[in-house]
Structure 1
Amino acid sequence: MAQLISRRVREYFYDSPFGESPPPVICSPATQEELAVLESRSGQILEADYREFLSLTDGLEFRFLFFLGCHDWEGGEIAEVAEAFRETVLECDLVDVGIPSGTPIFPIAVDRDGSWGVFLIDIAENAEERYWWTGEGDNFFFTGFADVLTFLGDPGSFDPRETLL
């Protein structure tokens, strides 16, 4: 059965817009209790699409990013990379891209070397944007989690804001 599923996944992604990259690695769904713990850990309310995503797959390895699930915060290398990237980002002047000082930011995705990441942000001034993709000089802001995934699949299909100013 495992071989059949593996073959079907390879066949499905053979002609995908993601090219030769390996198929995404999905995980078991997060429970409502795990989502509540993650929400508490993040210090902010999880956006509905992100919550639904985690209830389908508690994390996802996709292309070059690891979307962290509830289980990733129980320890391990990717959580350490995400937290180190968060600390590095907090040392920068977030006001330069329009994020007010003291805004809670929580990593939801990171690459293996901690040079790219996606943060859940909660800006007090009620900005519509809840996601900030940053790394290597790029800054993109997205309203919803689905927009982040759309951009990841095809950067030309979505025009995110590059600053909140």
Structure 2
Amino acid sequence: MGMKEVVGQIVADLAREYFADSPVGASPRPVIRPSADSGALAALERRSGQSFEQGYLAFLSLTDGLEGFSLLLLGCRDWEPGGMGEIGEAFRETTLDSDPEDVGVAPETPLFPVAVNEDGSQGVFMIAPAGSEERFWLTGEGDSFFFKEFADVLGFLADPGSCEPRESLLP
């Protein structure tokens, strides 16, 4: 299934959940944003310090971030001053201070926030660990899950039972 179909299915499920709530709208409102332009994507990729995983690049080419989960999926515009990217950066600093080596994330591993919750206590990082296929790490609030592709992250956020991510990069 392509990224367009994955995002479409997830947004349909989020919208269904939103309207099924009583009272209506008790869950976060799903919001699809206009796609990011190529210049903004290139600038964000440079900022990340690593090559974007193809699924994340395809995602941002469809929607520049996504609202509706407990985590905001960050897009290019979230990195403007005062945006949620600042909370993502603060969460990154907190995570680096919390000994990520305990789950196999080496100190020199680049961590780039691609999702964060409103209070900065949980998020998803794009990572590029040496010798590992995993590219995304969901961590915070006692969680530690690793995913190979961004589509896996989306599936997990929509339905945690949809896959069994690794809990550690350690053998």
Q: TM-score, normalised by structure 2?
A: 0.84
**3-state SS of the aligned residue for 2:164?**
coil
147, 156, 168: which one aligns with 1:163: 168
Q: Which residue of 1 aligns with 2:7?
A: none
**8 Å CA contact retained: 1:18, 1:153:** no
Q: How much identity, in percent, do the aligned residues show?
A: 58
1:25 is displaced (CA, Å) by 1.0
Query: Is structure 2 residue 62 aligned with structure 1 residue 56?
Result: yes
Q: Compare CA radii of gyration and give the structure with the larger one.
A: 1
Q: Which residue of 1 aligns with 2:159?
A: 154
- Counterparts of 1:1-165 in structure 2 under 5 Å? 13-14=15-16, 16=17, 20=21, 21-125=27-131, 127-165=132-170
CA distance in 2 between partners of 1:19 and 1:116 (Å): 26
CA distance in 2 between partners of 1:51 and 1:152 (Å): 18
CA distance in 1 between partners of 2:147 and 2:18 (Å): 21
1:124 is displaced (CA, Å) by 2.1
My pick for the range that moved more, 76-85 or 48-57, is 76-85
CA distance in 1 between partners of 2:105 and 2:20 (Å): 35
**Alpha carbons of structure 1 residues 105 and 84: separation in structure 2 relative to 1, 3 Å:** same
**8 Å CA contact retained: 2:31, 2:68:** yes
**8 Å CA contact retained: 1:17, 1:153:** no
**Amino acid corresponding to residue 25 of structure 1 in structure 2:** V
**3-state SS of the aligned residue for 1:110?**
strand
**3-state SS of the aligned residue for 1:28?**
coil
For structure 2, the residue ranges without an aligned partner over 5 or more in a row are 1-10, 22-26
Q: Which residue of 1 aligns with 2:3?
A: none
**Alpha carbons of structure 1 residues 22 and 94: separation in structure 2 relative to 1, 3 Å:** closer
After the TM superposition, which segments of 4 or more aligned residues of structure 1 sit over 6 Å from their partners? none
Q: TM-score, normalised by structure 1?
A: 0.87
**Amino acid corresponding to residue 124 of structure 2 in structure 1:** V
Q: Which residue of 2 aligns with 1:6?
A: none
CA distance in 2 between partners of 1:18 and 1:135 (Å): 29
Q: Which residue of 2 aligns with 1:3?
A: none
CA distance in 2 between partners of 1:102 and 1:53 (Å): 27
CA distance in 2 between partners of 1:134 and 1:18 (Å): 29
**Amino acid corresponding to residue 51 of structure 2 in structure 1:** I
